[in-house]
Structure 1
Amino acid sequence: MFDDSGKADMSALIHLPHRTVTGDLEAAGRRAGADSGDPRLKTLAADSGTDAQVGVWECEPGGWPVVDRPDTETCYIVSGRAKITDDQTGRVVEVGAGDFVVLPPGWTGRWDVVETLRKVYTIF
């Protein structure tokens, strides 16, 4: 991902094979700000060569608020289920395997993981 001078190679391809996306992830502790359940995290970060965060994230059941999100997150749900509540509209969406979610900057709401959830994400 880096050339001989230590600079990021912006043409490098990021490839996470299916076995990596669905395999074991690294334990990352309890979800910060959780106010229900005991949502333990597991992650696998991939170096994007940019400021964007890219990887695989898993969380056990539990919930937490998100207030005035500072960035954009896109994610594809690989497995599990969660309810996402949008504070602005009051809308509650249940997401599961195969769903794609975009949370824009300034978004305020809530995640409630119902069944251990795994997603592939980008945050920028």
Structure 2
Amino acid sequence: MISLVHLAQSTVTGPLTPAGQRPGADSGDPRLATLTVDAAAPAQVGIWECRPGGWPVVDRPDTETCYIISGRATITDDASGTTVDVSAGDFLTLPVGWSGRWDITETLRKAYSIF
């Protein structure tokens, strides 16, 4: 299940490093850009941006928490069939074992941690 909390909108700007197309994409041309932050912890932390497109996620191997800085997407949970529209100010958690789908409709930028 997706956990979602709406926070006040925040803006993080600046150039990110291009990272090619999102692996597994099956719609659109979801080009990625990232800025990885040294978290000094056993986690991956950074800023991630993706252009419109979609892809499935099957059985996540890790937990991701993220704060949506800008853009829009629809996330679909396979287990429940629930769809959640996310946009600036939303905070969500995708747990280990989660399966579903991301469909980005407006270039999305998020701050993330993966552990």
* SS of corresponding position for 2:42: coil
- Residue among 77, 97, 102 paired with 1:106: 97
* More strand by percentage: 2
2:50 to 55, 59, 74: 59
The counterpart of 2:32, out of the listed 20, 38, 41, is: 41
Structure 1 or 2, whichever has the larger Rg, is 1
Tell me the distance in 2 between the aligned counterparts of 1:42 and 1:33.
Answer: 16
Q: Does 2:81 correspond to 1:93?
A: no
Counterpart-to-counterpart distance in 2, 1:51 and 1:80:
28
1:26 aligns with 2:36: no
Query: Per-residue deviation at 1:51?
Result: 2.1
Distance in 1, matches of 2:98 and 2:40, equals 26
RMSD: 1.2
Displacement, 1:31?
A: 0.3
| Identity percentage of aligned residues | 70
Q: Deviations over 1:69-118 (max 9, x none)?
A: 01100000000000000000000000000000100000000000000000
The one-character-per-residue Cα deviations of 1:14-72 (angstroms, maximum 9, x if unpaired) are xxxx88x3111110000000000000000000011122000000000000000000110
TM-score, L = length of structure 2: 0.89
Q: What is the identity, as a one-letter code, of the residue corresponding to 2:38?
A: D
Q: Which amino acid aligns with 1:37?
A: G
Q: Flag the structure with higher helix content.
A: 1
Please point out which of 57, 75, 82 is paired with 2:73.
82
Runs of 4+ in 1 over 6 A off after TM superposition: none
Q: How many matched pairs?
A: 106
More relative contact order, 1 or 2 (CA 8 Å, 6+ apart): 2
